[in-house]
Amino acid sequence: MATFTHIVVFAILAVVLLPATTMATDYVVGDDSGWTTNYDYQAWAKDKVFYVGDKLVFKYPQNVHNVYKVNASSFASCTVPTPSTGLTSGNDVVPLVAPGKKWYICGVEGHCKDLGQRLVIDVQQGWMAPAPAPSSATVFGYKTFMAIISVLAMIAMF
């Protein structure tokens, strides 16, 4: 029953592949520990692949910590940008809107420099994520990919 097998394969592709490629992930930074001191955020990020469209959620008691997105040199030196443009809500959701390296530090005195409260991640474009510029290039790529999968599955059924 090759036809049945192919229908099953196609169904699995449709059910598994499609949501896997369209669903964005919300990452709670530090998991249950949240955004805090004396936590190894590079170890936390090491086994994760971040894509454009995913979100980082920084959770911490308000007024205890904060979140600043900085550049590489400010990250290295733990320099808090002025004027202050930090996130302070205690439940800060940061959408990853562009590929490349992103650096985050806590701006509270000593937390970044002495207590390791900093995170650097490398965001991947992903092959179906919306392009940052108003371009349909990646959307087209995604639809083309799904069309090819569908055609191949149909050919395989006959």
Is residue 81 part of the contact set for ligand NAG (CB under 6 A)? yes
Which tokens hold the place of 11?
């169904």
| Placement of tokens 């004027």 in the chain | 83
Over the window 85 to 124, marking each residue x when it contacts Cu ion by CB under 5 A and - when it does not, the resulting string is ---------------------x-x--x-----x-------
Number of chain positions touching ligand NAG (CB under 6 A)? 4
**Closer of 36 and 117 to ligand NAG (Cβ):** 117
Contact stretch for ligand NAG (CB under 6 A) within 9-17, 24-32, 61-69, 71-79: 71-79
Contact stretch for ligand NAG (CB under 6 A) within 53-61, 66-74, 127-135, 141-149: 66-74
CB proximity list for 49: less than 8 A, separation 6 or greater = 124
| DSSP SS3 for 62 | strand
Which tokens hold the place of 33?
């520990």
**Closer of 78 and 129 to ligand NAG (Cβ):** 78
Q: C-beta of 120: minimal distance to ligand NAG in Å?
A: 14
C-alpha separations of 109 from 11, 63, 106 in Å: 54, 12, 8
Query: Is the Cβ–Cβ distance between 108 and 97 less than 8 Å?
Result: no
**Closer of 20 and 82 to ligand NAG (Cβ):** 82
What gap in Å lies between CA 130 and CA 132, rounded to an integer?
Answer: 6
What gap in Å lies between CA 111 and CA 18, rounded to an integer?
Answer: 41
Q: C-beta of 105: minimal distance to Cu ion in Å?
A: 9
> Residues interacting with ligand NAG, by CB under 6 A?
71, 73-74, 81
